[in-house]
A and B are shown apart, each in its own frame.
Chain A
Amino acid sequence: MKQRERLIEALLALSAGISVLTTGGIIVMLAVEAAHFFRQVPLGTFLTDTQWTPLFADKHFGILPLVAGTLLTTGVAIAVALPLGLIIAIYLNEYATVGFRNVIKPLLEVLAAVPTVVYGFFALTVVTPFLQRLIPSMAGFNALSAGSVMGIMILPLVSSLSEDALTAVPRALREASYALGATRLQTAMRVVVPAASSGITVSVILAISRAVGETMIVAIAAGQEPRLTANPLVPVETITTYIVQVSSGDVAYGTLEYDTIFAAGITLFILTLVLNNVGYWFRQKFREQYE
């Protein structure tokens, strides 16, 4: 009996170990390959140069244009997903009847089940032509269209996590608010949302981290030109798109050009790691404790 227990424990530890080992392996691989890169390109140049042209005659290794592209598409996505997701969460939590809510919630989750490549083509062939009718000067590949569709993609993440946070607000707070004569809107906006703000913030941080790492939508619809710009109407290139472009091309293994994808990869990794940890830290620090 005792032995069986031990065996099961070992199996459980192994399962947990595999995920940790995989993460460890990825970090080591990224670090080793990126070290090759940083032996030839100083970190200062990497972080401050405003051009990224490692495959061309006049080589520049500044990650900023790729980071700018990533942040721009992510920013657009959050600008779409945060207000919409929050409104949906408030509506479902404070206004909708139980029956309606049970229908609409699974439907929202369907958005998360759509393959990202489908979102990519949706952005390129439906959203972009539509937006071009409103803004004729917009380019065919642009951050606005890719970002908006990415916002739709992360909408369920924001709305369901925010809704959980709203649900966790104790009933007593709402009742106190109503007792003071507040309307439903006043209660929602001035009592419930502030009380759930830490959970909502965490949902947004996780959504940002998801958007930063998103690949397919931006690779298809945002363009492939590294450009240091805040203009969402022109083609940009994200870190993920660059990695796809190089790893599917003919760049020879072991060259400096090839190592750029690891430098880009580790930048992306650090970006999402920091975001996730900020989210975790935020939840620990600012969690409102009631009862």
Chain B
Amino acid sequence: MGYAATHPLRSGFLKGTPLLLALLAAACGEKSTSQKISIDGSSTVFPITEAVVEEYARQHPAARITVGISGTGGGFQKFCRREIDLTNASRPITDREGQDCQRQDIDYLPLTVAFDGLVVVVHPSNTWVKSLKVSELKKMWEPAAQHRILRWNQIRPEWPAAEIHLFGAGTASGTYDYFTQAIVGQRHASRGDYTASEDDNVLVQGVSTDPLALGFFGFAYYEANHAALRLVPIDDEQPGNGTGPVTPTVETVKNNTYAPLSRPLLLYVSSVAARRPEVQTFLHFYLVQAPHLAREVGYIPLPATEYRRQQTRFDEFVAQQR
């Protein structure tokens, strides 16, 4: 689901656009077969792709681009069956899915378009939390914690015996799915006695005004309110992945040491599609627009140099297809 639920501005009026674009193109009497680009896949990546498509359609009224949501796995299936040109993915392709593509004689290139990251934050006056292990976050948030884990010293004995006030995404948001999956290990499983809101601004307000608070939400909301919040470095206790607690920064999210609360958002291009000029134009446009549109829909953009590198990789990939 990504952040669609928490971004009414984008998600609200974008839902109808594929149909609208198709109608628009049909109305113009466009000879469309050559201009049509079909995209499918992850709903997490959907908001940013959809935002790019919308911008693109404004500048290229002849383009017919459809964006579906069948999930990362469903997207790869269609992708390897040559049913679509590009697929959104919130994880890399698996070996098995890769073999499907090989069987169809399809080569592919993953482009990283942005990062999805969650931050864990406390009030700036909180002196005791220097970092948190994933196991501690789990102890705090799992369903078994409900009505039991109520004080800070239940997490670490040296912490104060004061109440802990938790703030987090509501059950309707994709942020909630992602957090529960990454921390508790099971989608949609968490305690219920915390301030749950689909509106991230409520969570920011709650944590920033409550000395005993701890909350989680999308990286973009931390950036906009960083003076009123303090980031908690997270230790996933897997030394291969950066030792000790890691603070979420653009750098640590990018090199995947800020785990498990970050993941790259990917767009896969097939070798067949890459030969088509309209796909090339669209992808160049995508990588140019991605930095500001990623931010707009609540994701972390890559550094500018990285987008240029993605461009180069794509150009090389296109050259190989000739």
Contact = CB atoms under 8 A, between A and B. Distances in A.
Contact of A58 (B146, B211, B212): B146
B193 A55 contact: no
B280 interface: no
Contact of A128 (B193, B209, B212): B209
Given A53-B146, A250-B5, A225 B209 contact: no
A106 B193 CA distance: 44
B192 A56 contact: yes
Interface stretch (A23-31, A133-141, A172-180): A133-141
Contacts of B206: 139-141, 223, 235
A261 interface: no
Interface stretch (B17-25, B195-203, B294-302): B195-203
B146 A139 contact: no
B163 A57 contact: no
Interface stretch (B104-112, B165-173, B236-244, B314-322): B165-173
Nearest to B203: A224
Nearest to B1: A250
A224 B172 CA distance: 15
A78 interface: no
Interface stretch (B45-53, B62-70, B128-136, B183-191): B183-191
Contacts, number: 91
Say what secondary structure dominates the interface of chain A: loop
A122 to B, nearest CB: 14
B209 A250 contact: no
B193 A53 contact: yes
A60 B143 CA distance: 12
Nearest to A128: B209
Instruction: Give the most central of B144, B193, B194, B207: most A CB within 10 Å.
Output: B193
Contacts of B190: 56-57
A139 B210 contact: yes
Interface residues of A, number: 30
Contacts of B202: 224
Q: How large is the interface on B (under 10, 10 to 19, 20 to 34, 35 or more residues)?
A: 20 to 34
B252 interface: no
A240 to B, nearest CB: 16
Nearest to B166: A225
B147 interface: yes
Contacts of B209: 128-129, 132, 139-141
B205 interface: yes
A57 B194 contact: no
Contacts of B170: 55, 245, 249
Contacts of A224: 195-197, 202
Instruction: Give the most central of B172, B195, B202: most A CB within 10 Å.
Output: B195
B267 interface: no
Interface in A111-137: 124, 128-129, 132, 136-137
Interface in A197-251: 223-227, 234-235, 245, 249-251
A224 B144 CA distance: 20
Contact of B191 (A58, A124, A129): A58
Interface of B: 5, 143-144, 146-147, 163, 165-166, 170-172, 188-198, 202, 205-213
Q: 7 closest pairs, A vs B, by CB?
A: A140-B209, A53-B192, A56-B192, A250-B172, A139-B210, A57-B143, A225-B195
